[in-house]
Each structure stands twice: as C-alpha cells, then as structure tokens.
Chain A
C-alpha cells in the first residue's frame, strides 16, 4: 500500500547548449512517485533517465519546471542547502560503486554520517547495522580493492541507506555485475523497499532488473511513457532489517 507522493516532478524541461545548438534532454516532464514505491525507470541510451534521476536526487537543476521532494522545492535550493539536504534525504547507489579506495568498507559506509551531528558511538551503531543489512560485517575492514564487484555494490548500498534517507536512487546498480551478483543486489533493494518502506527509484536498461519494480516508467527522447506494474519481491532477512528499522526509529525519535 502506497502513501502520498514523495516525489513530484512538474513540467520539467532540461536542455544543454552546445555552441548555439540547444539539446533538449527532458521535455515538459511530470512524474509523481508515492512514498514506499519501487519505481523502475527504463529507456534507451540518451533518453534522459540519468538526467531525471539527477534532478530528483538534487544533483542538477531543471532548466524549467519544479522538483518537489516531500514538501521541499529542491529545484530552487542553493548548492550548499542541497548538499545538506542530500545527506539526510537521498541515498545514491552508483553503477560503478564509487567507493573511496583508500577507505575500508566500514569507513566508506561511515562517510555520509560524518556530516551529521552524531556521536561516534551512534555512528558506529548505524554503520554496523547497515553493514549487517547487506551481510558484510565480516568484511568491514577490507578496502574496496579487496572486495568483489557484488560486495562493493553491497557496501555502496549500505552507504546509501546508512543515513536512513527519504529516497534511494539507484543508477544501473547491476550494470557492472555478473548475473548472480546482480540478483543478490536486486533482492537487497526489494528487501529495503518492502521491510523499511523505502522509496526506490531504479534506473536500468535491464528488463529483468526492472521486473522487480512495482511500477515501470519508460522515457523516450526526454518524454515519459508509463508502463505496467510488476512486482516480485522476495522476503527480507528479518533480523537485519529489524535492526535497521530500530535504529531509524530511534534516530527519528531523538
């Protein structure tokens, strides 16, 4: 059961200029994503998927139109305000993981928490919970170079959820993984959505990945074409998720 729209994209137009030529990437696009929904965003290369994701995640601003997340108009925020907002509200999962190679898995997951007013004990608790959630507590002192692609992506997911964000955006999170690892990552995302009621936006080329989403929208040449709903969510590892929920609730309470 889904709630009120958490993401509202209204009449967004995004273009880039190259010399005198204007390249339209998104054209008068509107989209609403209800809270707790797992939305798949598909489309061919150059259709504007990543641009839309960047706008929703507050990494870029539309040329025209508005982007609201909950009750905040993020398309008008200053860069500094957006940075703070992202820390608390957005968990970003990259295709190529983008972990800092000099830091251990633990330290990579801890990184966003350094920007929040938390004690070191609170930070430690949240990092361990997030690593437990992705099943990597036993590898937390390893550096990215010592982990497999799948494990690195799980660290990336732990880093994305450690601040208990409003929205998780994932840009081709399985694009660099083998089929088995990709399956594990998708299962993990489904668990997050189901157990923690996280709103997830998944950009993918892969129809099998998109199948996990509750709703799929297609982008073509910067315009939105809505598709069918498809759900196949596997049960979550209750212990780990419960721990995460507990931390999240406590954090909200404090």
Chain B
C-alpha cells in the first residue's frame, strides 16, 4: 500500500493535504469552539446557498473521482514495480503476437529445453503461457451476450502469476486442473450467458476455425477485475489442436501461432535486464524473434492508442473541472462576504485581527468544500464499487474500474483545495475591510 502511495505522488499529495485540513479543522474546533460555532452559524445563515454550493462541489468532485479512478488504475498497472517484475515475452515484429508453442520451452524452467543461462533467475512458479481463444455460444446469432473470450493457461500457474488471483480458492484451481474441459467464469460473464456453475456449454470458435469446444463450468472467478473473464486449461486446448491435425491430416493454420504471450517473473530490475538480453539474443528465437518488456510497459503499449485521450482527460478536463469548482465556491463566498462587510468591520472594531477574519472566511468555505468533497468521494466509493459494480469503461483489458480507498483523500483534498483557492481572494478582501469606510457608508 505504501509502495502504491509513493508511486502516485498526486494521491500522496492529496493524502497530505487531507490530513493537514482535518488536523487544522480539529485544532480550530478544539481551541476556539465558539469561533468554530460562529463559522457553522454563518454557514446556516443562507442554508439554500450553502446547500447549492455543497451540491455543486459534490457533483464536480464525484466526476473527477470517477475520471481519476480510471487514470489512477491505468497509472498503477503501467507503473514499474521495484521488485517482483513480471516480464512479457511477445513476438517482436507482429501485433497481435502469435508465437509457436516451442518458444515457451526455452524459458520454461520445467522443460528440458530450458536455456541454461536462465537457471537461478526463473523458478518453476515464475513462468506462465497465455493463449487467447474467442468463440460464441450460438454460431447462428452473434450477440455480445453469446460471446466468450477465454484466457488459455496452465491452471497451476494461476495463483502464483495472475494479478489479484493469488487468493483464489485452491479447490477451484484443483477442479480446473482435474476437469480437462473445465472453465472458470467471471460472475458478470456467467450472468450474461445465463449459465450456472456445473452446466456445460458448447463454444464455436471465432479465431481458431474448426476448434470448437465443449466446456464444463467448474467455478466462478471472484468479482472485480475478472468479472467478465473466462479461464480454461491449456491441456484441453492443445489436445484439440493436436486432434485437429490427426483428423484432418494437416495442422491447424494457427497451430504454430497458438502462443500469444509468455509471462516470466524475476526478482529485480537487474535480473530483468539480464533475462531480457539472454532471451532477445538467443538463436532459438531467431525464426520468430521476440521482445521482452515488463508487464506494465506491455500494458502501456496496449494503451498507446488512448494516450492522447488520456492526456487530455488528465491535464485538460480534470483541471477544468477543478477550476469550475473553485469558481463556484468563489462566487458563493464573494456574495457572502459582500453581504457581511459591515459585520467584518464590527469584528475588527471588537479587536479581531485581519488574520482571524481571514481564518473565519476560509474556515467557512473550506468546511463546506472538505465535507462536500469527502461526502462525494464516499458516495462514489460506495455507489460505484458496491451498487454499480465499478465504472464500465471499455479500455484495454479492464471490464470495470473500481474506486480505490484513496478516493476519500482525493475528494477531501479536491473539495478543500478548490474551496481554498476560490475563497482566498474574497477572504483577503474581507480581512482588509477599512472600518472607517464601511461605517461612513452605513451612516
């Protein structure tokens, strides 16, 4: 968690701002309870205006929270880790990568062809192959509900290599290993095809023509990242390709292209560099050259198509929303201050220093901003994660994006920050009120 925080300076900054705002608010409320009460009473003075400001801030914070959830998640998966690197081996010159299965043998520690130079750098649990199989449950009617896209892999590597599946029930993995035709489905995909665990399905392939599968649903993947995913065993898939060759007398056109990715895990960057150099320069891969990159840079390459869009969202849309939020607060506080110039002057006459008046005005706006921001983020967290099942934004491999717990810090910091920026000028104006001028106008 700390690593996540340090890797994301904006979240770290929001956390620091949030803590500072909460501590400052508590100190103010405890040391000057009567002045804190005055702040509350001033906010209640025009309840409609306060509520509208609050509501506008909440809507804008909720929007930014949703947008930032997507950006944050993509940032996280494309940020390099400092240890436990995952390497992705793919075909160098072609997208999508389609390699012969023999390529895997040279980097599989359990294979007799394993490159001796890699010994000690890759363990048996640090290897995994990926093939992608797409099919339909109803070849006469292609609908989104009938489609099934599956990750084909060795079940015994699921828990050790797949992100967020390290806590998957070992009994499920065992069931997938034991049931040659087994498949695990995500809860949403299961609901979409209207099937239950234990039922059988027939899948007509879309990418491997003629390789049609009869699968048994042996279990459900956990909700979240794998909501719409499906995982099947590579043993059945490979057998079916071999069977195709036996029955038709010729290899399937994709037989020698069935391996899409190889994942390897190494302990640190140094090992990553060495493994990358060995694999990329190995003569065994010369017929179909490969490239080695980190998993994050691999995903980053997938996201390249969205790069401009994401840049615009991150650096144009989000700042524009924050500026709008600051302007909403500025407008409300300016009106409030203008209405109370005489009161500010009275406070000065009573002995309030300019800084005390500045604190009172900033306190009003920041209390509204911080509470509205925190409330919006909390609602977004609960509503999106639990009621809506994530933000369904179809980008890269992500079926849905989930609001992280850090969103509470984003919300509070955004609300308080925008309130601060929006109210600093009106507050400055309030504390520089000239008493003699105000009363000469009143008289």
Contact = CB atoms under 8 A, between A and B. Distances in A.
B436 A59 contact: yes
B435 A115 contact: no
Contacts of B440: 50
Contacts of B350: 86-87, 92, 111-112, 115, 159
Interface in B38-80: 38, 41-42, 44-45
Given A50-B439, A102-B41, A114-B32, A84 B351 contact: yes
Contacts of A115: 350-352, 356
A110 interface: yes
B354 A60 contact: no
How many residues of B sit at the interface, in one of the four size bands?
Answer: 20 to 34
Contacts of A57: 349
B436 A51 contact: yes
A98 B436 contact: no
A80 interface: yes
A86 B436 contact: no
Interface string A168-185: 000110000000000000
B351 to A, nearest CB: 3
Interface in B341-396: 342-343, 346-356
A94 B342 CA distance: 11
Given A102-B45, A114-B35, A50 B351 contact: no
Which of B35, B349, B353, B440 has the most chain A CB atoms inside 10 A of its CB? Answer: B349
A54 B352 contact: no
Given A83-B353, A86-B351, A96 B442 contact: yes
A95 interface: yes
Contacts, number: 73
B346 A100 contact: yes
From DSSP, what is the main secondary structure of chain A's interface residues?
A: helix
Interface string A56-81: 01011000000000000000000110
B34 interface: yes
Contacts of A98: 342-343, 346
A112 B349 CA distance: 9
Nearest to B349: A92
B353 A84 contact: yes
Contact of B353 (A80, A88, A172): A80
A102 B44 contact: yes
Interface in A111-130: 111-112, 114-115
Given A83-B352, A88-B351, 19 more contacts: A50-B443, A54-B435, A59-B435, A60-B435, A80-B355, A83-B353, A84-B351, A84-B353, A86-B351, A90-B349, A98-B346, A101-B45, A102-B42, A107-B38, A110-B34, A112-B350, A112-B351, A115-B350, A159-B350
